[in-house]
Amino acid sequence: MSHNIVAQVQEWLRAHEDDLLADYRKLLQIPSIESDPEPNAPFGAENRRALDYMLSLSASHGMSTKDGEGYYGFAEFGSGSQMVMSLGHVDVVPVGPGWKHEPFGAEVEDGWVYARGAVDDKGPTMAMFYASLAVKAVMGDPGVRVRNVFGCDEESGFGCVKHYLKTEEVPTIGVAPDAGWPCIHGEKGISDFVVSWPIPKGDLTLLSLEGGQRPNIVIDSAKAKVLASGAGKSILENAIAESWDRNLTFEWNGDELNITAVGKASHGANPFGGDNAVCRILRFLKDCAPTSQEREFDQMHELTHPGGNGIGIAGADEPSGPLTANLGIVETKDGHILFTINVRYPVTFVFDELKAKVEAKLADNVGKPTLVSASDSKPLYFPIDHPLIQTIQEVYEAETGDTKKPGTMGGGTYARAVPNCVAIGTGWAGDGPAHETDERYGVEHLFRASRIYGHLLVRMTQLAKEMP
């Protein structure tokens, strides 16, 4: 019976591929980057518009909908006390420079759809929505409720799901299509450590240092202003003449040196995949600092270490691997430089212990920096033998023939915020990368994901009936 239903669901999806692609492109053309709040739009007008689009589309297909005051919305069908949930998000990270394609043009070229949010997370969200439509068309009422949640603040704080959990029920089981195949049974803890460093003063005074868009993006451009006095100017002039870093440019304005750096953006969970522009500036300054200031600039440069060495928390565990640290935002304010470091820590680590290590490490630094704030989102961990994990793996193997095992990751998805949920896969080779320039999703990959999601939803409706 189940096999026949799955076949019918996937046949429906194949028959509606043109509609799926068209609706997906329309959603991509909405520039849903967080902006200033407006009435009933806590994350800005464009995020509100993206949410309205999904709710209107859902209603047009006969689903009941709810608008959660602009924080989130959901579409639902079916009946019963048990509920199967999918959690997708319609917000995207800022664009950044260097795009070859229009970031919100949703251009299709050689089988790829290019746009910010193509794979993170509008493509998977729309593919899952269409999988739900297929289940509704074939099964009618599956005996459980199937709910598609559309969040508006996944990329900058999870305010949407926090608001959801204040008034709405949690699912019996759920998935967030926003990760790697077949699923992610462990998500590292995520913390933002904000370090305040008094401006270094001496022959070289660092007047300002600025860079970064979000804590979870590797800084791809940065600027600094340095005041040179005494022997400082000749030291800087010599250093500029000998500088090997072609990603740095210099401009003198009297005794002030303006430095501009270019790097490469990457997701903050993978800082090794990017090139931090602030790191380039601080490396230059520590290499040419006078002897009396060398140690302080060296320690400041250490803050950019992607393994967390500069704040004293490097480490790893067996289930989830090494800790990573992304210096995502740097700004100058009231005589201090503020460094926001986005940390992804292993699933067996304890946040309070990490915080204590950061404070101890900073206390030993020359410049006497301090930890001014620290946020925490605790890790997510499901055993491999959990029924939901096993079901996801079985569906993935049946659809692909791939025996890849569930994994862990440093990225954070909605699954960590909503009970009984795990993150599942979205794409294949060539898709993405998330948060980078010219983000893209294969057209055939979009269709393939919808069919896998359709199969999975059928199995999840059955599993939910067996859950207590």
* Residue environment code for 211-233, b if the CB has 16+ CB neighbours within 10 A, otherwise e: bbbbbbbbbbbbbbbbbbeeebb
Q: Return the number of other C-beta atoms located less than 10 Å from residue 251's C-beta.
A: 9
Distances (CA, A) of 267 to 170, 215, 343, 435: 29, 10, 12, 6
DSSP string covering 223-273: EEEEEE-TTHHHHHHHHHHH---TTEEEEEETTEEEEEEE-B--BTT-GGG
The H or E element containing residue 466 is helix 443-466
E runs forming strands in 79-138? 83-89, 107-109, 112-114
For residue 277, CA distances in Å to 125, 224, 314, 437 come to: 32, 11, 22, 16
154 is a catalytic site residue: yes
Of the residues 46, 120, 153, 154, which is catalytic?
A: 154
Q: Are strands 173-179 and 421-425 parallel, antiparallel or unpaired?
A: parallel
Using a 10 angstrom Cβ sphere, with 0-12 exposed, 13-18 middle and 19 or more buried, the burial of residue 337 is: buried
Q: Is 394 a catalytic residue?
A: no
Q: Among all chains, which residue has been given the structure tokens 């003198």?
A: 252
Do the beta carbons of residue 455 and residue 10 sit within 8 Å? yes
CB-based contacts of 11, cutoff 8 Å, min separation 6? none
CA dihedral 316, 319, 320, 322 (to 10 degrees): 20
Q: Of 453, 411, 305, which Cα lies nearest the Cα of 93?
A: 411
CA dihedral for 152, 156, 159, 161, sign (positive or negative)? positive
DSSP 290-335: -HHHHHHHHHHHHTT-TTSGGGT---EETTTEE-EEEEEEEEEETT
Task: Exactly one of 34, 76, 91, 296 is catalytic; name it.
Answer: 91
Q: Are 362 and 370 in contact (CB under 8 A)?
A: yes
CA distance linking residue 113 with residue 443, whole number of Å: 7
Torsion, Cα 251 252 257 259, to 10 degrees, reads: 0
Based on C-alpha coordinates, what's the Rg of the chain?
24
Read off the DSSP letter of residue 432.
Answer: B
- The residues carrying an active-site annotation are 91, 154
